[in-house]
Amino acid sequence: MAQTNSYRQSSNGVADESPNMLVYRKMEDVIAHMQDETNGIPVRTVKSFLSKIPSVFSGKIHFFIVTVKRLEALHLGTLMAAHGYFFPISDHVLTLKDDGTFYRFQTPYFWPSNCWEPENTDYAVYLCKRTMQNKARLELADYEAESLARLQRAFARKWEFIFMQAEAQAKVDKKRDKIERKILDSQERAFWDVHRPVPGCVNTTEADIKKSSRMKQPHKTRKSVYGLQNDIQSHSPAHTPAPEVKEPTEEEIRDQIQHWQAQLDRHRLKMSKVAESLLSYTGQYVEYDPFFTSPEPSNPWISDDITVWELETSKEPGQQRVKRWGFGINEVLKDPVGREQFLKFLESEFSSENLRFWLAVQEVKKRPIREVPTRVQEIWQEFLAPGAPSAINVDSKSYDKTTQNVKDPGRYAFEDAQEHIYKLMKSDSYSRFLRSTFYQELLQAKKKVNNCTYHCSNNPSRTG
């Protein structure tokens, strides 16, 4: 895949074109293939009753099937029809069906990549013009008649002007060759089917408000289909002019250089190691992934039976859950029952102060800021102050830093100490836990959690 970054942005960082343009270009590539003279779809004139249907192709999508599977072909074809690149000749609803019905290509003039945003005045002219022409095929559908009525009320004062425009357009149309007219009429109708879709159909021209508020010059695209002057301003709050983004200042470039230098100096792990770790992680957790392994006893979404969640909240951890604690210290620490069991084990060994410290520091990080200073003092007194009842062993560097931090206590006062204790637990307490009979019996479901057969200390300060 090409690694080039085509920043379709001007130097001030504002988008030059809608993100939809990427999609339009891809569709237009497919259209080009479809319209290819030698390998494309055959477009022909079909005889029907007393008349001929010019310039159509069959909905049988053999063409697409060559490149993609059938269902996808229908989906992709419908998507392209909904965007207005081709259309069924006898339906306002823009889809692609795999049957014998006929479709016609849209003329490039009306392609969505031309950034059309037709106004209601144009739509009014169009509908009005249709009523002037005495052809069964141009009769208004119900929803179109309703729209026309609505527009007449809305533009009551300008209606004479709109009527005149419609008359002028109708006159121009009459002068065209009959076959050409048939084709153009249908293409014009398809254009409006995209911009004023049948009620219930998706309007593919709608843009995400996050994107539309970034568009550089929305009024640039507002050209009229019938040459009308558009003096109506859009009321959409999304169309505010995009803020000018300045050229980076010297300071900003220096910051960037610092950032790139730091990123350059990073240690990089080999791809083979990374791939190995991804493979082993997904392999290890696949039995816990409900999209692969059905949960026991059943998936509540399918059976409406919530036993599996009730088991989760009970204090009795299943074997599978206990096994997961062995994957890494984080698994034990993030499972409330895991924390409880780990703590219980450490208390039985009279070495629970590290875990209790770690848990207390995690907790203080979530407290509202006004409660933090008091809590920090309490933790300091309990675990780190000289003569602390639950003294923990931290390296001198972290100890000194923490002593400083506690003087002006914030949420991260114990960050260095916590890091150190975490590493200690990981290499020491956690590995002892996994090797212990306590854990092994849980794993083999030999022991019930609440019956502690060990000398549980009378330690009253149980947290977690």
Partner 1 sequence: MGEMEELRKEADNLKDQITEARKVVQDTTLQEAVAGTTLVGRVQLKTRKTLRGHLAKIYAMHWGTDTNCSKLCVSASQDGKLIVWDTLTTNKVNAIPLKSSWVMTCAYAPSGNMVACGGLDNMCSIYNLKGKDGNVKVMRELAAHTGYLSCCRFLNDSEIITSSGDCTCILWDIETGTEKTIFAGHLGDCMSLAVSPDFKMFISGACDFTAKLWDIREATCRQTFSGHESDINAIGFFPNGNAVITGSDDATCKLYDLRADQELITYQDSGIMCGVTSLAASLSGRLLLAGYDDFNVNIWDMLKAERVGVLAGHDNRVSCIGVSSDGMACCTGSWDSFLKIWN
Using CB under 8 A as the binding rule, the residues of this chain from 291 to 350 that contact partner 1 are 291-292, 295, 299-302, 304, 306, 309-310, 312-313, 330
Does residue 72 belong to the site contacting partner 1 (CB under 8 A)? yes
Q: Which of 213, 348, 351, 381 binds partner 1 (CB under 8 A)?
A: 213
Q: How far is the CB of 132 from partner 1 (least distance, A)?
A: 35
Burial string for 285-320 (b: 16+ CB within 10 Å, else e) reads eeeeeeeeeebeeeeeeeeeeeebeeeeeeeebeee
Tell me how many degrees the CA angle 196-201-162 measures, rounded to the nearest 5. Answer: 15
Does residue 10 belong to the site contacting partner 1 (CB under 8 A)? no
Q: Site residues for partner 1, window 90-149 (CB under 8 A)?
A: none
In the complex with partner 1, which residue's Cβ is closer, 177 or 408? 408
Which segment (153-161, 238-246, 389-397, 454-462) binds partner 1 by CB under 8 A? 238-246
Which segment (100-108, 183-191, 256-264, 347-355) binds partner 1 by CB under 8 A? 256-264
How far is Cα 352 from Cα 131, in angstroms, rounded to an integer?
86
Helix, strand, coil distribution of the chain in percent, nearest 5: 55, 5, 40
Q: Which of 199, 237, 386, 460 binds partner 1 (CB under 8 A)?
A: 237
How far is Cα 333 from Cα 310, in angstroms, rounded to an integer?
21
Tell me how many degrees the CA angle 418-420-422 measures, rounded to the nearest 5. Answer: 65
Q: How far is the CB of 202 from partner 1 (least distance, A)?
A: 5
Does residue 282 belong to the site contacting partner 1 (CB under 8 A)? yes
Does residue 435 belong to the site contacting partner 1 (CB under 8 A)? no
Q: Which of 43, 46, 65, 79 binds partner 1 (CB under 8 A)?
A: 79
3-state secondary structure of 336: helix
Does residue 211 belong to the site contacting partner 1 (CB under 8 A)? yes
Q: How far is the CB of 61 from partner 1 (least distance, A)?
A: 13
Under a CB-based contact definition with an 8 Å cutoff, are residues 84 and 191 in contact?
A: yes
Does residue 50 belong to the site contacting partner 1 (CB under 8 A)? no
Q: Site residues for partner 1, window 363-422 (CB under 8 A)?
A: 365-370, 412, 415
DSSP bridge partners of 15: 9
How far is Cα 183 from Cα 9, in angstroms, rounded to an integer?
38
How far is Cα 433 from Cα 305, in angstroms, rounded to an integer?
34
Q: How far is the CB of 2 from partner 1 (least distance, A)?
A: 8
Largest Cα separation within the chain, whole Å, is: 106
Does residue 66 belong to the site contacting partner 1 (CB under 8 A)? no
Residue among 284, 293, 430, 409 at smallest CA distance from 354:
430
Does residue 153 belong to the site contacting partner 1 (CB under 8 A)? no
Residue owning tokens 């021209």:
205
Residue owning tokens 């062993």:
393
In the complex with partner 1, which residue's Cβ is closer, 135 or 254? 254
Does residue 253 belong to the site contacting partner 1 (CB under 8 A)? yes
In the complex with partner 1, which residue's Cβ is closer, 23 or 434? 23
